[in-house]
Structure 1
Amino acid sequence: MQGHPSLKEIFRVPVLAPDSWVAPNAVIIGDVDIFDQVSIWYGAVLRGDLNAIRVGAYSNIQDKSIIHAARTSPTGLPASTDIGRYVTIGQGCLLRSATVENECIIGDRSILMEGSLVEKQSVLAPGTVLPPGRLVPSGQLWAGNPARYVRDLTKDEKEEIQAIATGVFGTIDKHSSEFLPYSFAYVETEKVRNASKP
């Protein structure tokens, strides 16, 4: 017989650092922690309704990427989704119960399945698919479907990873100034209403 669910399980709500930035049409629900200077871009979805999602400081989740997590993992690997510091998740990616360690780049349209692990200072080329339980060792470039080792990263490439992540956050001022703290859809509604008056 199972016990009663804890308050955390009942009232899972996102927790965002004050200096993080979330695009107006991004969706963040459930047990999600967003740390310092994280940016979540247009159309991204972070769905922590079944398990926890953590996004480390200075990371970014780009346009239309989906991050979620399974309730449990039959393999015994972590079912939560954990993203480290200085990580860039490219556009249109899908991460499900995956772990990405610090200072990584996940190329556009990449898919990371349950239990996959990308170790620190690694890069996935655009369109890479990591099958369940696949490990990408530290300091390597992987590509393909399914993902395969391509080569080791150079020292300069490893150092550039952090600069790319902080550079993305540096662009948010241009975007955040475009939006009011409230909806302005009423402006268009008023135009339609006035146009229909005799």
Structure 2
Amino acid sequence: MARVIPFGGKRPRIAASAFVAPTAVVIGDVVVGERASIWFGAVLRGDHPEHGIHVGARANVQDNSVIHTSDQGPTVLEDEVTVGHGAILESCRIGMRTVVGMGASVLQRADVGEGCVIAAGAVVKEGATVPPQSLVAGVPGRVRALGATAAAWTERSSGHYVALSRRYLADAACELCGGPTMERHCKILCLNCGYQRDCSDP
């Protein structure tokens, strides 16, 4: 079941249309926007007393990624951002429609512009500024021009995960209102109308 955990007097705020996978963990000061998706094994740890995590509309955080914050500021994923499997982000900003590749790291105070691609395994250094429509590759990451093929990919990546998350939600729709549901403490909870039932009920 998805673990949605209050911390320090703050509770995650998850849009009713968002998908949070059963094995994801969302803690504390976290906002998840409309039609966003948090996938299996991802951890969003908003446990800093001042700086939270914001996941924009239609953004996706894929399996086993970790998003955290520190004294250096919040972590902000703007609308339609894709975070690939196993990526690590801390106290950074990721611009709209940017794709962060599998296993990439974006470190504290990094500011990544719109429509970028952070290549798989790349490291965006602390305090780095990445201009819009750039490709970052390597360790440490080097900025170069983004080709037309990669630019087109940033435009469609989010849509794929929005569609996939709708399929997951459809299979777990509330029998009363048709809204999205999640498992919590052996209960099936509708995020739309609040209806609950035991997981063991047919």
Q: TM-score range by the shorter chain?
A: 0.7 to 0.9
- In the alignment, structure 1 residue 160 sits paired with structure 2 residue 158: no
Matches within 5 A, 1:40-189: 40-50=38-48, 51-70=51-70, 72-73=71-72, 79-154=73-148, 157-176=150-169, 177=171, 182=183, 183=186
Deviation, structure 1 residue 11: 1.4
Aligned to 2:13: 15
Of Structure 1 and Structure 2, which has the larger fraction of its residues in helix?
1
* Cα distance in 1, alignment partners of residues 122 and 168 from structure 2: 29
Q: Point out where structure 1 has 5 or more consecutive residues left out of the alignment.
A: 1-8, 74-78, 188-198
C-alpha separation in 1, matches of 2:121 and 2:172: 31
Identity %: 30
1:135 is displaced (CA, Å) by 1.3
> How far did 1:93 drift?
0.4
Post-superposition offset of 1:158:
2.7
How much has 1:138 moved relative to structure 2?
0.6
Aligned to 2:196: none
Tell me the secondary structure at the aligned position of residue 47 of structure 1.
strand
Judging changes above 3 Å, is the alpha-carbon distance between structure 1 residues 56 and 161 closer, same or farther for their aligned structure 2 residues? Answer: same
Q: CA deviation at 1:29?
A: 0.7
- Native 8 Å contact 2:115 2:154 kept in 1: yes
Between the aligned partners of 2:104 and 2:9, the Cα distance in structure 1 is: 31
Q: How many aligned positions are there?
A: 172
1:135 counterpart letter in structure 2? T
Task: Supply the distance in 1 between the matched residues of 2:22 and 2:58 (Cα, whole angstroms).
Answer: 19
Query: Within 2, Cα distance between the matches of 1:141 and 1:110?
Result: 13
Normalising by structure 2, report the TM-score: 0.78
Structure 2 residue runs of 5 or longer lacking an equivalent are 1-6, 174-180, 188-198
Q: Which amino acid aligns with 2:101?
A: G
Code of the residue aligned with 2:140 in structure 1: it is P
CA contact (8 A) 1:122 1:153 kept: no
The Cα shift of 1:90 comes to 0.2
2:135, 2:145 within 8 Å by CA — same for their partners in 1? Answer: yes
Match of 2:3 in 1: none
**Quick check: which has more Rg, 1 or 2?**
1
- Structure 1's consecutive aligned runs of 4 or more residues displaced over 4 angstroms after TM superposition are 178-184
Q: Name the structure 2 match of 1:194.
A: none
Which amino acid is the alignment partner of residue 163 of structure 1?
Answer: R
Matched to 1:46, the amino acid is L
CA distance in 1, matches of 2:56, 2:10: 19
SS in 1 for 2:52: strand
User: Equivalents in 1 of 2:52, 2:91: separation in Å?
Assistant: 9
C-alpha distance 53-142 of structure 1, shift in aligned 2 (>3 A): same
Tell me the CA shift for residue 10 of structure 1.
4.2
Check whether the contact 1:98–1:116 (CA below 8 A) recurs between aligned residues. yes
Give, in whole Å, the separation in 2 of the partners of 1:181 and 1:133. Answer: 37
Q: Kindly state the Cα deviation for residue 178 of structure 1 after the two structures are TM-superposed.
A: 6.5
8 Å CA contact retained: 1:53, 1:69: yes
SS at match of 1:141: strand
